[in-house]
A and B are shown apart, each in its own frame.
Chain A
């Protein structure tokens, strides 16, 4: 079912109304939504128990301090199936959540997964500068201020959701679309203005947006590829890296409780350093930061949803999210893997197909 909802309201107000209806009809017992933190101009996800605090929520605030997928993982651990929680995710968060479901880090059993179209986000600092008494919207920012990973994102709408809140192609209000049986059931209880039989203008709007972003991605990544080429390029790119691992901490799909790169594998005894120094003459410290980034590309490259949380968390503004976008889009295309596409896709690194890469290993000598 696809329909127009509250066509006289803007998307923020219409979405608040929609969640209010879900609460009123007792369809949900709580909701996870982007909200103003402690009355400040910071927007973070917050859990709501009723419709009373909905005016503190800003579903379309163009800022993402962290990926809500990770918070969803926390609240669905041993969750009570009697209580439904509705969560509002943007496309990259939904795609990260799909990867975490595949990795058994999220259970969607008691979750009503609501996604919304996303035009892009700005850095939290940029957002805070603009925010005053009013919380700014996407149109308050110039294109240059939008994070490059967002401008390259080919997913303006989420592939997996119970219900999607569409803004592309909406001329007022929001477009509610049920994408699962659970979503259909919910929308039966919601007062739509009109059912949308012809979705062609929405599709055209999404296609135009995707094409614009693809064009920017191709140009941007081609330049980046030239810049990082070879070990000299890579060393230069990561020259300011302080090995803090913030990028990994904020990565939604890097879920391991103990990371390999924090393990005792990398604890060496003093004499080893002495030996390496004598052999090389000069030994750059800290060790292994290039290995850390290359290793992480191999560990999560096929699950990377290009949300750019790594880049936003980097204290030295290394464009690590753009580099991971380059690596992951290329590798996922070559290996025919689509991160975040479907809950039933197999895990990329734990599975295989007998008929893939059949020429590898077989060379006759």
Chain B
């Protein structure tokens, strides 16, 4: 029997909210799929599109960016800037027919361990349905 597709998701999590939510989910023993490879960053606004694209080109099946809810940014407005940058990235991916739905931006506060687990579960399921990312499968990249 063929092995079931197990997606790889790279997560860029804000230190002040989503990374703490991931920790909370863990200490609260909430079960969620182990498909996310988390990378802690200081702010969702510090995630350059190049890092997201690099992950997709190197074999990630999805990228999850987790930031603070609007008006809750530790650095006042980094999340708003992240939102505009993700909008631009998605516009470019759409124009090039490179599946923008593999990139997710979600606001997850430090108190939302349950929401974090749900987001990861939902994203894993949806990426599983999509199948492997063709961007990472091309040997030419």
A residues at B contact (CB < 8 Å)? 225, 228-235, 239, 260-261, 280-284, 288, 290-291, 294-295, 297-299, 301-302, 326-327, 330-331, 334-335, 348-352, 354, 356-358, 360-363, 365
A297 contacts B92, C-beta separation under 8 Å? yes
Please indicate which of the listed interface residues A230, A261, A335 has the most CB atoms of chain B within 10 Å of its own CB: A230
Q: Given the complex of chains A and B, what is the CA–CA distance between A362 and B122 in angstroms?
A: 14
Listed A/B pairs (17) with beta-carbon separation below 8 Å = A230-B98, A230-B134, A235-B140, A235-B141, A283-B139, A290-B57, A291-B50, A294-B53, A298-B85, A327-B96, A331-B92, A349-B81, A350-B81, A357-B83, A361-B79, A361-B105, A361-B106
B87 contacts A335, C-beta separation under 8 Å? yes
One digit per residue, 1 when the CB lies within 8 angstroms of any chain A CB and 0 when it does not, for chain B 75-109 equals 00101110111111101100111100000011100
**B40 at the binding interface (Cβ < 8 Å):** no
Q: Report A329 CB to chain B, min CB distance, Å.
A: 10
How many residues on chain B are close to A (CB under 8 Å)? 39
Interface majority SS on B: helix, strand, loop or mixed? helix
Q: Report A357 CB to chain B, min CB distance, Å.
A: 5
In the A-B complex, the 5 residue pairs with the smallest Cβ-Cβ separation, listed nearest first, are A298-B49, A352-B80, A229-B97, A295-B50, A365-B118
Residues of B within 8 A of A260 (CB): 48, 50
Q: Given the complex of chains A and B, what is the CA–CA distance between A290 and B56 in angstroms?
A: 11
A290 contacts B80, C-beta separation under 8 Å? no
B residues at A contact (CB < 8 Å)? 48-50, 53-54, 57, 67, 69-70, 77, 79-81, 83-89, 91-92, 95-98, 105-107, 115, 118-119, 122, 134-135, 138-141
Residues of A within 8 A of B79 (CB): 361
Q: Taking A352-B84, A362-B107 as contacts, is the C-beta distance between A301 and B92 under 8 angstroms? A: yes
A331 contacts B54, C-beta separation under 8 Å? no
A365 contacts B135, C-beta separation under 8 Å? no
Q: Given the complex of chains A and B, what is the CA–CA distance between A364 and B15 in angstroms?
A: 22
Q: Taking A231-B141, A362-B107 as contacts, is the C-beta distance between A298 and B89 under 8 angstroms? A: yes
B98 contacts A356, C-beta separation under 8 Å? no
Question: Closest chain B residue to A283 by CB distance?
Answer: B139
Residues of A within 8 A of B48 (CB): 260, 295, 298
Q: Taking A327-B92, A331-B95, A335-B88 as contacts, is the C-beta distance between A354 and B140 under 8 angstroms? A: no
Q: Given the complex of chains A and B, what is the CA–CA distance between A326 and B115 in angstroms?
A: 38
Residues of A within 8 A of B139 (CB): 280-284
Q: Given the complex of chains A and B, what is the CA–CA distance between A229 and B88 in angstroms?
A: 18
Residues of B within 8 A of A234 (CB): 96, 98
Q: Report A295 CB to chain B, min CB distance, Å.
A: 4
Given contacts A280-B139, A349-B85, A352-B84, 15 further A-B contacts (CB under 8 A): A229-B97, A230-B98, A234-B98, A235-B141, A284-B139, A284-B141, A291-B54, A298-B53, A301-B88, A302-B88, A352-B80, A352-B81, A352-B83, A356-B84, A365-B118
